[in-house]
Amino acid sequence: MNLSIKPLTPELVADYFDFFDNRAFTDNSPYRCYCQIYQMSKTQYQAIYDDVAKNPGPASRAEAERQIANGILRGYLAFVDGLSIGWCNANDRANYPAEPVYDDTPFHAPAENREKAVVCFEIAPEYRGKGIATALLHQVIADARAEGYIAVAGFPIERTERYEWDCRGPVRLYEKAGFSKVSEKGRTIIMRKEL
């Protein structure tokens, strides 16, 4: 498999939407998003979605486009032979809202903490179980170290059995990469890897 991983830039916006529109949810996943919600505060979310509750798709896509253009939505795309087949939402923890849409998502931390957060993975169904999420996570760690971050945090959901659409990644994924559990918030486990 000819795998490459690239940081999301405005130049890759077509690849990003090609992945989310054509491959990300082809397995009847209960999710349909563009990973834009994690960068939104409750106020921003209400301003956009209160009027489009019955058909949020176009608003979600437009918001993701705006976030990518403005450097708000960050992360990595995985490619196999030039085709986008995976995604990881990873950003400075200070860039996530202090008052997120969902209360159980403690992604935000002050900028002086110098921590990067990994908040979501999406892998095309036919590429799951092939190490794509692991490769994405290792790229986040390597880049965070090179950029002077002191830690990377992950936020998996505690589960008793495998869940096919585990967008935050399983606990084991983080453990294999050297993360340790530091706390819990509801069913969210906060894991951290010191750099």
Q: What is the pLDDT of residue 39?
A: 92
- Predicted TM-score (pTM) of the model is 0.92
Q: What is the pLDDT of residues 84-104, one digit of tens each?
A: 999 999 999 999 998 888 767
**Are 21 and 34 within 8 A, CB to CB?**
no
Backbone angles phi, psi at 42, to 5 degrees: -60, -40
Measured between alpha carbons, how far is 109 from 193 in angstroms, rounded to an integer? 15
Q: Which pair of tokens denotes residue 139?
A: 């790229």
pLDDT for 125-174, tens place per residue?
A: 999 999 999 999 999 999 999 999 999 999 998 887 776 667 889 999 99
Segment 26-57, tens digit of pLDDT: 887 666 788 998 999 888 888 887 776 666 77
Q: List Cβ neighbours of 47 (8 Å cut-off, separation of 6 or more).
A: none
Burial 116-150 (b: 16+ CB within 10 A, else e): bbbbbbbbbbebbeeebbebbbebbbebbeeeebe
The DSSP secondary-structure symbol of 158 reads P
In the chain, the domains with their CATH numbers are 3-194 (3.40.630.30)
Please determine, for residue 62, whether its predicted confidence score (pLDDT) is greater than 70.
yes
Q: b vs e for 22-53, b when ≥16 Cβ sit within 10 Å of the residue's Cβ?
A: ebbbeeeeeeebbbbbbbbeeebbeebbeeee
